C-alpha cells in the first residue's frame, strides 16, 4: 500500500478539480481517492496539480530520429515518407531498442504513462524474418519496460504498396508478412504480460485488402484486443480508394468488419458526412495527431463532428515532431478555430479526457481516471513554472490545456511506481544523452 497526497487533483469531467486529495494505491491500482484529506504519515506529497496518466494513442518510435530534419522546404506527406523510409532502413533490433528506450523515456518525462506503438517494422531490411520473427516487437516491449511506461504493441498488418495491388518494394519489404494468415500467426506468438498489451493494426486501406482486413479484425475480436488503422489522412488515399473500390476508406473498412468500439481510426482527417456518421454509429474512436498532421500539411479533421456523432476522441504524437500531449490537446480546438472562424468547439475538460481516459480506453487499459480500481497513473505538473504561475483551482483545467507543456511535468507514477521525480527520470539517468546517442548512430547508417 502506498499513499500520494496531491495539493490539487483533477477527478474527471464530472467531478472537476479537487483540493487536498489523498490517493491510496494497492499494488498497481488505486484503492481509494479522498478529497479534503490531510496527508497521513508516510504519504508522498505531490505539490502542484495532479492529473491521470496521459495516453499517447499513436506512436512510431523511430520517427523521433527525423525531428528537426524533415520540416524545411517543400513537399508533402509522400515526399516526407521517402525520408522516413531511409531511417527505417537503418534499424535493427539492437538499434531500435536503444532509440525506442530513449523515445519512451522522453514520453515518460512528458507525463505519458502508456503508448500505442503502431508497429510494422517486422523483418530485416531484405524482408527476411529475424531468428525470432517478433524480435523487433520484442525490442519495443523491452524498451517500454526500461523507460517505465506501459505499451500497447499494435502489431500492424502491411501487405501491399497500394490499392492497385502492387507488391511491397524497396524499404517496404520489411513491413510485410506475405499474407494476413502469416501476419496472424506471427502476431499470435506475442503474449500480453504485465505492462504490455498486444493489439492489432491495419496499416491502411492502401496496404491491406478487404479480405485481409477481415482476417485482422477477426484476430482482434478473438482476443478482445484493440484494433487501430490509419484512415483518410490523405486526400490521395481517398481518391485511390474510391477509384479502385467505389467506396471511401471508412466505408471499405466498415464492409470488412473493421469498425467498432474496440477500433481506433487514426487521423480521420478527410471524411464525408457519411463517413463521420459511420464512425460515430459504430463507436469507433478517432485518434487525432495535430502536431504531425500540421507538419505534414495533412489538413484539419472534423473532430467536433466525430465526437458529436459518437466517436470518442483521443490523441497521439505520431511522428514525434514534438512529444507533448498538452500541445496535441489544445491543437484539436485551436486548429478547428482556424478552420471554421469560430471558437469553443471543445471544452478543456473534454480535451483533457481525450488525453487521458479516452486514450487509455483506445489502448485497452483500465486507466486514465483518478478513481478506485483504475491503474494508479498519477502525473503532477509544477504550478511554479512561468507558464502555469497564476493558476487557481477554478480554472486549472483550462490553464493546463491551453498553456502547459511537457516541461511542466514534475512527477510521474505508472501503475503505482514512481518513474519521474522532480522532473528527472528515475530509470534512464540522462534521457537527452540517450536520445542523442541512439539518433546519432542511426543517422550515420542512414546517410
Closest Cα partner for 147 from 102, 94, 97?
102
The residue to which cell 520473427 is assigned: 133
Q: Which of 267, 320, 346, 425 is catalytic?
A: 267
Which helix or strand (DSSP H or E) is residue 428 part of?
none
> Cα(177)–Cα(123) distance, rounded to whole angstroms?
8
Rounded to 5 degrees, φ, ψ at 58 are: -150, 115
Count CA within 13 A, CB hemisphere, residue 36: 0
DSSP per-residue string spanning 151-197: EEEEEEE--BSSTT-PBP-GGGGGG--SSHHHHHHHHHT---BTTEE
Q: Would residue 408 show up in a list of annotated catalytic residues for this protein?
A: no
Angle at 245 between CA 244 and CA 246, to 5 degrees: 110
The DSSP string of 201-213 is EE--TTTS-HHHH
Distance between CA atoms of residues 324 and 209, nearest Å: 34
Q: What residues are paired with 151 via a beta bridge? A: 115, 196
What is the grid cell recorded at 328?
A: 496535441
First to last CA, the chain: 51
Instruction: Report the length, in residues, of the chain.
Output: 447
Distances, alpha carbon 39 to alpha carbons 85, 110, 422, 434, in Å = 52, 26, 19, 37
* Residue 122 a catalytic site member: no
Q: Which of 177, 318, 377, 408 is catalytic?
A: 318
Q: In the numeric block, which cell numbers belong to residue 213?
A: 482486413
Residue 349 burial (C-beta neighbours within 10 Å; 0-12, 13-18, 19+):
middle
Catalytic residues: 267, 318
Amino acid at each position: 500500500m502506498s499513499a500520494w497526497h496531491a495539493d490539487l487533483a483533477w477527478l474527471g469531467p464530472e467531478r472537476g478539480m479537487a483540493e487536498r486529495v489523498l490517493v491510496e494505491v494497492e499494488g498497481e491500482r488505486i484503492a481509494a481517492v479522498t478529497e479534503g484529506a490531510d496527508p497521513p504519515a508516510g504519504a508522498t506529497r505531490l505539490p502542484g496539480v495532479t492529473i491521470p496518466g496521459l495516453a499517447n494513442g499513436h506512436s512510431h518510435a523511430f520517427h523521433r530520429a527525423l525531428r528537426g530534419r524533415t520540416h524545411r522546404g517543400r513537399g508533402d506527406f509522400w515526399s516526407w515518407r521517402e525520408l522516413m523510409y531511409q531511417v527505417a532502413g537503418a534499424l535493427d533490433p539492437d538499434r531500435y531498442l536503444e532509440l525506442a528506450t530513449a523515445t519512451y523515456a522522453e514520453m515518460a518525462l512528458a507525463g505519458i504513462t502508456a503508448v500505442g506503438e503502431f508497429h510494422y517494422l517486422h523483418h530485416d531490411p531484405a524482408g527476411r524474418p529475424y531468428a525470432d520473427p517478433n524480435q523487433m516487437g520484442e525490442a519495443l516491449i523491452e524498451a517500454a519496460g526500461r523507460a517505465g511506461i506501459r505499451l500497447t504493441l499494435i502489431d500492424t498488418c502491411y501487405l501491399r504498396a497500394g490499392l492497385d495491388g502492387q507488391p511491397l518494394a524497396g524499404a517496404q519489404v520489411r513491413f510485410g508478412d506475405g499474407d494476413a494468415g502469416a501476419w496472424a500467426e506471427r502476431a499470435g506468438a506475442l503474449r500480453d504480460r504485465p505492462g504490455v498489451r498486444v493489439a492489432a493494426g491495419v496499416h491502411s486501406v492502401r496496404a491491406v485488402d478487404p479480405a485481409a482486413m477481415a482476417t485482422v479484425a477477426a484476430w482482434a475480436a478473438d482476443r478482445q484486443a484493440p484494433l487501430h488503422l490509419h484512415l483518410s489522412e490523405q486526400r490521395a488515399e481517398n481518391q485511390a480508394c474510391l477509384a479502385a473500390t467505389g467506396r471511401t476508406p471508412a466505408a471499405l473498412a466498415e464492409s470488412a468488419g473493421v469498425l467498432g468500439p474496440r477500433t481506433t481510426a487514426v487521423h480521420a482527417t478527410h471524411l464525408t458526412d457519411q463517413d463521420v456518421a459511420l464512425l460515430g454509429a459504430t463507436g469507433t474512436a478517432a485518434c487525432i495527431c495535430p502536431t504531425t498532421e500540421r507538419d505534414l500539411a495533412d489538413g484539419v479533421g472534423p473532430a467536433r463532428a466525430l465526437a458529436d456523432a459518437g466517436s470518442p476522441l483521443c490523441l497521439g504524437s505520431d511522428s514525434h515532431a514534438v512529444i507533448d500531449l498538452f500541445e496535441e490537446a489544445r491543437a484539436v480546438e485551436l486548429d478547428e478555430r482556424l478552420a471554421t472562424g469560430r471558437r469553443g468547439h471543445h471544452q478543456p475538460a473534454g480535451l483533457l479526457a481525450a488525453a487521458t481516459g479516452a486514450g487509455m480506453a483506445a489502448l485497452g487499459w483500465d486507466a486514465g481516471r483518478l478513481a478506485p480500481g483504475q491503474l494508479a497513473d498519477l502525473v503532477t505538473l509544477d504550478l511554479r513554472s512561468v507558464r502555469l504561475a497564476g493558476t487557481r483551482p477554478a480554472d486549472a483545467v483550462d490553464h493546463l490545456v491551453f498553456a502547459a507543456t511537457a516541461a511542466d511535468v514534475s512527477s510521474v507514477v505508472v501503475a503505482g511506481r514512481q518513474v519521474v521525480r522532480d522532473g528527472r527520470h528515475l530509470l534512464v539517468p540522462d534521457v537527452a544523452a540517450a536520445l542523442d546517442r541512439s539518433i546519432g548512430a542511426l543517422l550515420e547508417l542512414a546517410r
